[in-house]
């Protein structure tokens, strides 16, 4: 039974009430779905990269929704109640930040910047602060502070991993869910939801290739997978 059809994944009921099956599809979208295409092998690549990153985070003690990898495009996950905010962590200025604040692309943030956006396709995922999110009843201030701490820790682990692959993690988006009175990392982490730049040349390996029409986006994703697979 399909519970939810997302832009790049479908969510199905798992074998029991506490699990779901996430299927990575070959769809790629940008600009809130305005630009969309289907690319053979894209789901498999995103699943493989996300599974590698989730395994790395688990090794570092981060609790995630992942229960088991089922096949090349599907994972079994804990059925968490998804918190309706996207957490964005930025190590360098790009995309929305450059557009909003007019700073130079690549400006380094130390410490990293954490932002929240309300998850709403209809509203275009508007950015919101803690007070606004609490007023909307989407998450409590305690939950937001816990998500911030967890996201910064995840950022540290991910930066370390990508550095070993010669990749700079410029920014990324996370989603959390409530499960057994805890907040756990959900959704996916892949080049669909991160900005990943070659450390030496600055070449882009993420969805910006598709957003900006820079070439074969899956070549970038393949490079990310190849390099992450080689990290010892």
Footprint (CB under 6 A) of ligand 5GP, residues 99-138: 125
Residue 96 binds ligand 5GP, judged by CB under 6 A: yes
Residue 72 CB, shortest distance to ligand 5GP, in Å, is 20
DSSP states along the chain: -EEEE-SSEEEEE-SSTTEEEEEE-SEEEETTTTEEEE-TTHHHHHHHHHHHHHHHHHHTT--BSEEEEEETTEEEEE--EE-SEEEEEEEE--HHHHHHH-PPTT-EEEEEEEEEEE--TTTT--B--HHHHHHTTSS-HHHHHHHHHHHHHHHHHHHHHHHHTTEEEEEEEEEEEEETTEEEEES--STTTEEEEETTT--B-STHHHHTT-S-HHHHHHHHHHHHHH--
Residue 151 binds ligand 5GP, judged by CB under 6 A: no
Nearer to ligand 5GP, 74 or 151 (CB): 151
Residue 6 binds ligand 5GP, judged by CB under 6 A: no
Residue 209 CB, shortest distance to ligand 5GP, in Å, is 12
Binding mask 70-89 for ligand 5GP (x = CB under 6 A): ----------------x-x-
Nearer to ligand 5GP, 17 or 199 (CB): 199
Collect all residues with Cβ–Cβ distance below 8 Å to 71 and sequence separation of at least 6: none
Residue 194 binds ligand 5GP, judged by CB under 6 A: yes
Residue 174 CB, shortest distance to ligand 5GP, in Å, is 9
Instruction: Candidates 147, 207, 210, 218: give the one binding ligand 5GP (CB under 6 A).
Output: 207
Give the number of residues in contact with ligand 5GP, rule: CB under 6 A: 15
Distance CA 30, CA 95 (A): 12
* Stretch of 39-47, 103-111, 130-138, 191-199 lying at the interface with ligand 5GP (CB under 6 A): 191-199
Residue 166 binds ligand 5GP, judged by CB under 6 A: no
Instruction: Candidates 147, 173, 186, 217: give the one binding ligand 5GP (CB under 6 A).
Output: 173
Best CA proximity match to 208, nearest among 223, 191, 222: 191
Residue 193 CB, shortest distance to ligand 5GP, in Å, is 4
Residue nearest to ligand 5GP (CB): 95
Q: How far is the CA of 75 from the CAs of 10, 56, 99, in angstroms?
A: 11, 16, 35
Residues that bind ligand 5GP (CB under 6 A): 86, 88, 94-97, 125, 171-173, 192-195, 207
């Amino acid at each position: 039974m399909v519970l939810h059809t997302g832009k790049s994944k479908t969510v199905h009921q798992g074998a029991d009430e506490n699990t779901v099956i996430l299927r990575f599809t070959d769809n790629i979208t940008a600009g809130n779905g305005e630009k969309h295409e289907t690319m053979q092998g894209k789901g498999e690549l995103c699943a493989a990269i996300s599974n590698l990153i989730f395994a790395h985070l688990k090794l570092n003690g981060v609790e995630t929704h992942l229960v088991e990898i089922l096949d090349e495009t599907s994972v079994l996950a804990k059925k968490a109640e998804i918190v309706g905010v996207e957490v964005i962590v930025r190590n360098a200025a790009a995309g929305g930040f450059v557009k909003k604040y007019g700073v130079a692309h690549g400006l380094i943030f130390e410490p990293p910047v954490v932002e929240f956006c309300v998850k709403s396709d209809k509203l275009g995922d508007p950015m919101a602060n803690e007070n606004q999110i609490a007023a909307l009843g989407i998450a409590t201030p305690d939950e937001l502070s816990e998500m911030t701490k967890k996201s910064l820790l995840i950022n540290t682990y991910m930066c370390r991993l990508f550095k070993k692959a010669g990749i700079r993690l410029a920014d990324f988006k996370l989603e959390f869910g409530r499960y057994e009175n805890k907040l756990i990392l959900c959704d996916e982490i892949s080049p669909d939801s991160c900005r990943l730049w070659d450390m030496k040349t600055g070449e882009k390996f993420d969805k910006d290739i598709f957003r900006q029409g820079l070439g074969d986006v899956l070549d970038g994703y393949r490079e990310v997978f190849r390099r992450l697979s080689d990290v010892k």
